Amino acid sequence: MEIFPRIEVHAADHCTLACVGCNHASPHLEKRTYSAQDYIPWLDIIKRHNFEWNTLGISGGEPFIIQDGLNDFCLKLKQRYNSKIELFTNAFWLTSLDAIDKFATVFRNIHTLQISFYKPYVEKIGWENCQKFAEEIRTRFNIHVFSFVPNGVKSFGQVYFYDTPAPTDKSLQCMVKDCTQLTADGILYRCTYGHFLKTPIPSEGFKKSQDIYFDLRNINKKSLTQWRNKWPLDSCKFCGCGPGRIIWTDWRSDPKIKNMNRDEYLEYLQGITSSKLTQLNHKRKINLL
């Protein structure tokens, strides 16, 4: 039996923020919400081909955008697959104990709540309250509540999609290489950056990748196994997520990026990463010699 470490699905493609560097491409995607039923046929196909997963992640975008539909989303996936459910949120809704009460049924149907504490919501709620509310959810519902950045998000990785290939080998490390994404139209992306294929942002080299996606509408056991086990991907040569490639900047949310084309977005990124980009490009040129 083959195992996916995790499979993530979107409850919503859009978000209450427009984080510059969002690795789910949320600011660049159209507004759209989903239900569990959008994904069940494809998850069933995966299981029928003798694949399992350790965790089902519900992310986006911001899942709590679907409000009343979120519990049904979590419950149906939990019951059908007897699976661990991990829910991601920026906690824009976490303003009081009443807000926790409102989503109590959601918390009873998940195993992990992953909170990304971003500046505007931390300032609105107050850091002490952020911690108090997180602990309230943790103790009341006996679930794992955590954040990748314990003291709030201060910086974001700005990933460039390269026009010319960068060197890769099997030792290439990537923070999202096992974050397999399932879309409602039956496409598996090997990592979160696959979502950018529905935007104008990637380079031509990245868009031509044959490895980053797998079409479940044309599946057989052998091909899915080969796809899952392949590393590095042909897309990795054109992606800036990896050691010595990613550029970190202060976190920011900027609605202006939502409708930018590739050239406009690159110019925007260069404006906030200019000195670091020069260093990175110099390093890449040396590596390519």
Looking up tokens 């080969």, which residue turns up? 226
CA dist list (Å): 91 to 4, 35, 138, 154, 187: 27, 20, 14, 16, 28
Distance CA 262, CA 200 (A): 6
Q: Is the pLDDT of residue 287 over 60?
A: no
Instruction: Evaluate whether 81 touches 32 at the Cβ level (below 8 Å).
Output: no
Identify the bridge partners of residue 9 per DSSP, sorted by sequence position: 58, 182
- Mean per-residue pLDDT, 50-70: 96
The Cα 32–Cα 285 span in angstroms is 40
Mean pLDDT over residues 174-197, rounded?
96
> Which residue segments constitute the domains of the chain, with CATH numbers given?
1-289 (3.20.20)
Closest CA to 93 of 71, 141, 125, 61: 125
Where do we find the tokens 């196909």?
45
Summary mean pLDDT of the chain: 92
| Residue 200: exposure state from Cβ atoms within 10 A (0-12, 13-18, ≥19) | middle
In this structure, what DSSP letter does residue 50 have? T
- Which pLDDT belongs to residue 251? 95
81-135 confidence digits (pLDDT tens): 999 999 999 999 999 999 999 999 999 999 999 999 999 999 999 999 999 999 9
β-sheet bridge partners, residue 113: 87, 145
How far CA 235 is from CA of 171, 203, 231, 241, in Å, comes to 15, 10, 10, 11
d(CA 276, CA 270): 9
Neighbouring residues of 238: CB distance < 8 A, sequence distance ≥ 6: 161, 162, 163, 165, 166, 202, 203, 205, 206, 209
Report the C-alpha gap between 250 and 272 in whole angstroms: 9
pLDDT at residue 1, rounded to an integer: 79
Largest CA distance in the chain: 60
Q: Are 121 and 93 in contact (CB under 8 A)?
A: no
* pTM summary value: 0.93
Residue whose pair of structure tokens reads 């107050």 in the numeric block? 126
- Please tell me the chain's helix, strand, coil percentages from 3-state DSSP, rounded to the nearest 5: 45, 20, 40
Note the pLDDT tens digit of each residue in 221-262.
678 999 999 999 999 999 999 777 889 999 999 999 999 999
- Pair 284, 168: CB distance under 8 Å: no
Q: Look at the block and give the residue holding tokens 């918390």.
A: 107
Interval 12-47: pLDDT, tens: 999 999 999 999 999 999 999 999 999 999 999 999
Amino acid present at 217: R
What CA–CA distance (Å, rounded) separates 24 from 32? Answer: 14
